[in-house]
Amino acid sequence: MNKKNNEFKLNILPPIINSFLNDDVDKQILSPLSCLREFGSNWILEFDLPLVNKKDIQVTFNENTISVEAKLREVYSEEKLGTKTKFEYFKKIITLPGKINSKSTTAKFNEGRLTIEIPKLTAGQKIKIK
């Protein structure tokens, strides 16, 4: 907002820039807060998913991308600039810097927090030392 002579001017982002923002208002989808930490042989990825039941969470992944979707157990409403928006889902896609070991990936959901432990996929071979 720009303030000039006690008047406010609202700068509206063009649609192309708006698509890079986290929340998808048109599809009623929120982007949850998340945290990615890297350790020697794995990543820990955490999502805050309040108002969500465990049975309504879906986690999918491929080589290095994790997608988390969750349906809220009640509609969340928010009012900004006189416009009321209702949200029904969380969705976020995270791309990791390496490949995922899908066979050993685990997830826990406790008190609104989803924690995913993601082992890194190692491509090396052991060498026998004589």
Residue 46 reports pLDDT greater than 70? yes
Q: Is residue 92 part of a domain?
A: yes
Please report whether residue 9 resides in a domain. no
Which residues, other chains included, contact 70 with Cβ-Cβ below 8 Å and sequence gap of 6+? 32, 49, 52, 56, 57, 58, 89, 90, 91, 114
pLDDT digits (tens, 9 = 90+) for 55-70: 999 999 887 888 999 9
- Spell out where 39-82 has E strands: 42-48, 52-61, 65-80
- Look up the pTM and report it: 0.71
More confident call, 51 vs 122: 51
In a domain, 127, yes or no: no
- Give mean pLDDT, residues 22-37: 79
Q: What is the side-by-side strand order in the sheet with 29-30?
A: 29-30, 83-95, 65-80, 52-61
Q: Which alpha helices (H) appear in 1-130, and where do they start and end?
A: 15-18
Does residue 53 fall inside a structural domain?
Answer: yes
Find the mean pLDDT for residues 78-107.
Answer: 86
What's the pLDDT at 1?
43
* Strands lying side by side in the sheet with 106-110: 34-38, 42-48, 113-119, 106-110
pLDDT reading at 112 higher than 90: yes
Total tally of structural domains belonging to the chain: 1
Q: Which structural domain range is residue 58 located in?
A: 23-119
Region 27-56: mean pLDDT is 91
pLDDT at residue 44 is higher than 90: yes
Specify the range with the lowest mean pLDDT, choosing from 30-39, 77-86, 90-99: 77-86
16 SS3 class: helix
* Closest among 46, 35, 52, 48 to 89, alpha carbons compared: 52
Tell me whether residue 18 is in a domain: no
> Could you tell me the CATH number of the domain that includes residue 33?
2.60.40.790
